Amino acid sequence: MNRPYNFSAGPAAIPVEVLQQAAAEMLDWQGSGMSVMEMSHRGKEFISIYEQAEADLRELLAVPPEFKILFMQGGGLAENAIVPLNLSRAATVDMVVTGSWSQKSQKEARKYAAEVRVAASGEASGFTTIPDPASWQLSRGASYLHLCSNETIHGVEFQELPDLKALGSDAPLVIDFSSHVASRPVDWSRVGLAFGGAQKNLGPAGLTLVIVREDLMGHALPACPSAFDYKTVADNQSMFNTPPTWGIYIAGLTFQWLKRQQEGDATGVAALERRNIAKADRLYGYIDQSQLYLNKVAVTARSRMNIPFFLRDESRNDAFLAGAKQRGLLQLKGHKSVGGMRASLYNAMPMEGVEALIAYMQEFERQHA
């Protein structure tokens, strides 16, 4: 099947095999006589889908047994409120601000925590760098430290999660990994809670993943709604309220697709990481030698998933986007807050899509150099 290449930052491309299986099962899931969208979330059919999805995700991300996997709703934006409602204990929260999403997290947390302190910020660089963890100003006794491990808009990614204990802090680390979950391994020894919307690497909008260490649950503020209390959600196997059943189903198919991926002797997430490194290196390599295009992010902080780039002559932006669309290269316009272009190279984007984009960029450069 020849489809356009979708570079959207989210909702984003879903593997064709997953879409084809969902289409084949749309009217009748495995002889049940029902679409997944029609099933009771408490029926044996959907329970089997849920249990398989949870098991596959735990295997893919190597989630330790002391962590609970929750399937929730509201996306990363809702988690910006739900996390402090559960973890702040109405005390001090530290934030590392590296772009638009962690800015939003900081603003939302101020509604629930007694104090929110910015331990470090990349704003002075225009959010093109990540402050060295050795320079972070950490609070004594902070309830947790929050960071966005991949900033979708500014294209900044932590290549390694900080070791807070080595920095002299006992605070659990909370990461928003919405836009690079399952693109690389997670060092769970350094993480207390990870959350992310599924609509970038794992499925459709509407499903939110929360992976939380058990000892961090059970401390929700009295004002926390029951449906957002992690312990309540965990105690009810994500079924306290009706979960996003279709989103869980599609994510489950995506987990199975991820498990089937192979790159050399690597499988699953390890295989995808190799592929993602190759895709990002190829596109950054072309941009860096180009006379027309520019990426502003420090090499050590560049995202593998979201690659913003700019035309040195921005009067040609509209022409670039129109030509890209004609060639089946979709949704390359940068976020309105930063402008320019952005190519999101999530797991479902094949190297062929990256090569097609580079071929067009070369053609456009020859015409407009």
Catalytic residue among 176, 229, 231, 333, which?
176
The per-residue DSSP string of 121-184 comes to: E-GGGTS-S---GGG--PPTT-S-EEEESEETTTTEE-SS---TTTTT--PPEEEE-TTTTTSS
Which strand (E) or helix (H) includes residue 256? helix 245-260
Candidates 29, 101, 231, 333; catalytic one: 101
> d(Cα 275, Cα 351) in Å, to the nearest integer?
8
Is 229 labeled as catalytic in the residue annotation?
no
CA distances for 124 relative to 97, 129, 134, 336, angstroms = 11, 9, 17, 20
DSSP string, 63-96: --TTEEEEEESSHHHHHHHHHHHHH-TTSEEEEE
Q: Which of 217, 220, 248 is nearest to 234 (CA)?
A: 217
- Cβ pair 147, 167 in contact under 8 A: no
Residue 101 appears among annotated catalytic residues: yes
Whole-number Å distance between alpha carbons of 350 and 353: 5
For residue 185, cis peptide bond before it (omega within 30 degrees of 0): no
Task: Count other C-beta atoms under 10 Å from residue 245's C-beta.
Answer: 20
Would you list the DSSP string of 233-249? HHHTTT-SS---HHHHH
Which residues share a beta bridge with 4?
A: none
| H or E segment and range at residue 231 | helix 230-235
What are the Cα distances from residue 302, in Å, to 104, 134, 215, 310? 21, 19, 33, 15
Distance CA 304, CA 343 (A): 10
Question: Do the Cβ atoms of 252 and 49 come closer than 8 Å?
Answer: yes
Annotated catalytic residue within 200, 231, 279, 333: 200
- What residues are annotated to the active site? 101, 176, 200
